[in-house]
A and B are shown apart, each in its own frame.
Chain A
Amino acid sequence: MSAAAIPVPTAPRESFLTEGYTIASWLTTRDHKRIAILYAIAITLFFFLGGAAAALIRIELVTPRGDLVTADTYNKLFTIHGVVMVWFFLIPSIPATLGNFLVPLMIGSREVAFPRLNLLSWYIYVLGGIFTVAMLVAGGVDTGWTFYTPFSTMFSNTHVVWAAAGVFIVGFSSILTGLNFIVTVHRMRAPGMTWFRLPLFVWALYATSLILVLATPVLAMTLTLIVIERVLHIGIFDPALGGDPLLFQHLFWFYSHPAVYIMVLPAMGVVSEMITCFARKRIFGYRFMAYAILGIAAFGFLVWGHHMFVSGQSVYAGMVFSMLSMMVAVPSAIKVFNWTATLYKGSIVFTAPMLYALGFVGLFTIGGMTGIYLATLAADVHLTDTYFVIAHFHSIMVGGSVMAYLGGIHYWWPKITGRRYSEAWGRVAAIVIFFGFNLTFFPQYLLGYLGMPRRYHEYAPDLQVLNVLSSGGASILAVGYLLPLLYLGWSLFKGPPAGPNPWNAKGLEWTTDSPPPKENFREPPLVTEPPYAYDPEHPER
């Protein structure tokens, strides 16, 4: 960041935050920036709800015997952890908060294409959330977030219908968000903002939106069918009727595998923004990065059967899905290589966002590589349904997506709030989280390899040491997640004004005030530069 004579930034007198102070002005807003903040508050609440479930799980697993909770309660805990974290935290996290706030700013627009639909999507999210919390209070659901038949349709004694309804509802929230972004990016770019001048964050959200729009409806109908089957005791997943329980899995994973790309692509977009800024360098291979994003989105639809290798699906289908799963790793790897090449000979600054970005690259790589093990049909027979799988997907979703989300929150915090947070505490939290994550999940790879099955509240006693390490790590992780609440919250009241561009970053969002005015830009921007026009010879510019 630049040193010499810069004027001390002052807060702008007016911004989107000053346009009305009443709750009503917030609850009836059409401002994408306010809607982003509404989402951020909601998903943070759900993050801690899902985290509480995880805490109970990890506490139970400190001892090999099931002595904290009953098996049924344990089943409910991991179910609610999955349902809340996937649908109420991870999927909306970056798109509905950072995406909603930044996409119009980054493309030079005043608003999204359909502002009222945007607000509606938040209300739908809240409604789905209410259903889910009500279901939880009423006793929870124990089918796992995957709702496999025939347990969910025929044998579970818990509130499957409520849970499915809550997820069904929140699905429409994400469909509307995706629809809005696609139309916004196509139709509302500022003059001069061609596709290949877009920040990679916008590319990432565009691709994510395509997935949201094509995959989520399949989940919606599938949940409808299990509700019908559960209520009427008859349905197409019932073998007694000539149906196939595996059809549920095909339909469920047709959505849920692309869903993991919904969770990781926006994170990759955030990482690209942070790495370029804090290496003071243009992204290496911009076009390849953009194509890789689209490739991940498209290929992600072709691999769902790798969740079903041992389910009873045909082994030939397994082979097809295994091959396709190998191929989907290629665009992801291209991105990792390009981030690394961007860092090479960059002028790296280890700010908190950069720490999160670097953490993402490392942990995503590990998660991705362990995914290759799982995609290998024969190896998966040993590893499936063990803690290896859990460690794999948490590496990507927590070590990847959550770290990128936190990094993005820190990176754009000055822009959104107009305040600077304590960089020292930011770095501390990032390091605590990185350390806590590794202590939590690295032992789980070993546990999985050693055969500890997932979704069991007890395990063989000789696996206790690794479990204790993992639970210890989880408590450190919890501290790491609580810290930002404190110092970011503090910065809202006492943080120094940030000014338009505290990081000296490229990108249209940094050309306007912090916080931005309601209409985003005082004059419509005209874009003439390529993206990430950093000058490696003069990194301070």
Chain B
Amino acid sequence: MSARPDVVPVDVPWRRETASLGMWIFLATEVMFFGVLFLAYTHARLADPQGFAAASRLTHEWLGTINTAILLTSSLTMALAVRSGWAGHRALVIRLLWATAFLGAAFIAVKLVEYRLEWRDGLVPALHFTYSGPHARAVQAFFFLYFVMTGVHAVHLTIGVALVAWLALRDRDPSHPVRRRETAECLGLYWHFVDGIWIFLYPLIYLVELWR
């Protein structure tokens, strides 16, 4: 597996596996990057669990749940896009990429709606925070983390949407068959990673003491 062919462009499986390894390592850096925020969340929540629960009740769990469903479905379309590229169904790849981009954009739209609601409710720390009920300090800490974590996630997702759209445009002309798979596959890995971050964010933000 390590024997490198003499002229690189010819050996496509070698290129694909190499690119894939590179992307997995990049994802490792992203896990450590987001991990800091999860640690901060853990620390803040353990310092005031009831406060965090109160704060979580102020989030819009229906929007969050719908968004999770949207993002999971976008992972499906992305994975199917990569699979279709593998199987050689070029037209299907393009359609599935656009579906993925659309779902990603839909997620961001819902997120922006949510942010607007939070602004309306005065829950934006430092910029517009008017909550004065019990646990105000913990609520502020919670929403600080909420905006930073979902914000950084949204930035990653936006970049993903842009890249998926770029790929859909680039490959609509079938003249680079060799490179297609590894780009799509690497982009797919990135997309699923962004989905994975959200999968963990969802219960931590929306589901704390939802039974209230």
A interface residue numbers (CB < 8 A to B): 109, 113-114, 175, 179, 182-183, 186-191, 213-218, 220-222, 225, 228, 232-236, 240-244, 247, 251, 524
Instruction: Chain A residues near B26: list those with CB within 8 A.
Output: 179
Stretch of B27-35, B88-96, B190-198 with 4 or more beta carbons under 8 angstroms from chain A:
B27-35
- Mask, B131-144, CB within 8 Å of A = 1, is 00000011011001
- Mask, B92-125, CB within 8 Å of A = 1, is 0000000000000000000000000000000001
Complex Cα spacing A215 to B36, Å: 11
6 sampled A-B residue pairs with Cβ under 8 A: A179-B29, A182-B25, A183-B22, A213-B25, A225-B36, A232-B127
Contact of B141 among A221, A228, A241 (CB under 8 A): A241
| Residue B169 lies at the interface, judged by CB distance under 8 Å to chain A | no
Complex Cα spacing A218 to B138, Å: 24
CB <8 Å contact, A222 and B14: no
CB <8 Å contact, B125 and A225: no
CB <8 Å contact, A113 and B18: yes
Q: How far is the CB of B82 from chain A (nearest CB, A)?
A: 20
CB <8 Å contact, A242 and B126: no
- Mask, B19-58, CB within 8 Å of A = 1, is 0011001101110111111011001100110010000000
Complex Cα spacing A225 to B6, Å: 46
B interface residue numbers (CB < 8 A to A): 2-4, 6, 14, 17-18, 21-22, 25-26, 28-30, 32-37, 39-40, 43-44, 47-48, 51, 125-127, 137-138, 140-141, 144-145, 148
Instruction: Chain B residues near A228: list those with CB within 8 A.
Output: 148
Residue of A nearest to B17 (CB): A187
CB <8 Å contact, A235 and B144: yes
CB <8 Å contact, A109 and B25: no
CB <8 Å contact, B32 and A214: yes
Instruction: Chain B residues near A191: list those with CB within 8 A.
Output: 3
CB <8 Å contact, B44 and A236: yes
CB <8 Å contact, B141 and A242: yes
A113 in contact with B43 given A215-B32, A218-B35, A234-B126 (CB within 8 Å)? no
Q: How far is the CB of B67 from chain A (nearest CB, A)?
A: 23
Complex Cα spacing A480 to B32, Å: 40
CB <8 Å contact, A188 and B4: yes
CB <8 Å contact, B140 and A175: no
Complex Cα spacing A232 to B127, Å: 8
CB <8 Å contact, A524 and B6: yes
CB <8 Å contact, B21 and A186: yes
Instruction: Chain A residues near B138: list those with CB within 8 A.
Output: 242
CB <8 Å contact, B44 and A243: yes
A234 in contact with B22 given A109-B4, A242-B48 (CB within 8 Å)? no
Given pairs A222-B36, A242-B51, 9 additional interface contacts (CB within 8 A): A189-B4, A214-B32, A217-B32, A221-B36, A233-B126, A240-B137, A247-B43, A251-B36, A524-B6
CB <8 Å contact, A217 and B40: no
Instruction: Chain B residues near A244: list those with CB within 8 A.
Output: 43, 47
Q: How far is the CB of B201 from chain A (nearest CB, A)?
A: 15
Complex Cα spacing A233 to B2, Å: 51
Complex Cα spacing A235 to B126, Å: 9
Instruction: Chain B residues near A213: list those with CB within 8 A.
Output: 25, 28-29
Instruction: Chain A residues near B126: list those with CB within 8 A.
Output: 232-234
Q: How far is the CB of B179 from chain A (nearest CB, A)?
A: 14
Instruction: Chain A residues near B14: list those with CB within 8 A.
Output: 187
Residue of A nearest to B140 (CB): A241
Complex Cα spacing A186 to B43, Å: 37
Residue of B nearest to A524 (CB): B6
Q: How far is the CB of A536 from chain B (nearest CB, A)?
A: 31
Name, among B14, B32, B35, B140, the residue most crowded by chain A CB atoms within 10 Å (CB to CB): B32
Instruction: Chain A residues near B144: list those with CB within 8 A.
Output: 234-236, 241
Instruction: Chain A residues near B4: list those with CB within 8 A.
Output: 109, 187-190
CB <8 Å contact, A243 and B125: no
Q: How far is the CB of A325 from chain B (nearest CB, A)?
A: 21
Instruction: Chain A residues near B2: list those with CB within 8 A.
Output: 186-189
A221 in contact with B37 given A232-B125, A233-B126 (CB within 8 Å)? yes
Complex Cα spacing A232 to B2, Å: 50
Residue of B nearest to A179 (CB): B25
A241 in contact with B25 given A187-B18, A217-B32, A234-B144 (CB within 8 Å)? no
Complex Cα spacing A278 to B126, Å: 62
Q: How far is the CB of B196 from chain A (nearest CB, A)?
A: 16
Residue of B nearest to A241 (CB): B141
Q: How far is the CB of A421 from chain B (nearest CB, A)?
A: 34
Q: How far is the CB of B66 from chain A (nearest CB, A)?
A: 28
A242 in contact with B44 given A188-B4, A214-B32 (CB within 8 Å)? yes
CB <8 Å contact, A236 and B48: no
Residue of A nearest to B7 (CB): A110
Residue of B nearest to A117 (CB): B22
7 cross-chain pairs, A with B, having the tightest CB-CB distances, nearest first: A232-B126, A217-B33, A221-B36, A217-B32, A234-B126, A217-B29, A187-B18
Instruction: Chain A residues near B28: list those with CB within 8 A.
Output: 213-214
Complex Cα spacing A216 to B36, Å: 11
Residue of B nearest to A214 (CB): B32
